[in-house]
Amino acid sequence: MENYFVDGDTVIAEGTIEGKTSAGREYEGIGLVDVFEFDGEEFAELRVYLDYSGILSELPEDVPDYRE
């Protein structure tokens, strides 16, 4: 995670991830945002937003593109 923002009971964390697709292609620098919601001191909810287009662009050409 590279940046954190706090607004009341909400924390937003921005960063990037790296890994490997099921086809074996490696990827890095894929954008990620986590949104944490708290109810006082209790953790209430987590939402994760990932730039899937960055991962899909790493798939081999023979994999069907269902985005079209």
Q: What is the mean pLDDT of residues 20-41?
A: 86
Q: Going by DSSP bridges, is the β-strand pair 10-20/26-39 parallel, antiparallel, or unpaired?
A: antiparallel
- 6 pLDDT more than 90: yes
The DSSP bridge pattern shows strands 3-7 and 26-39 to be unpaired
Please tell me whether residue 47 adopts helix, strand or coil conformation.
strand
Flag whether pLDDT at 67 surpasses 70.
no
Return the percentage of the chain with pLDDT > 90, whole number: 46
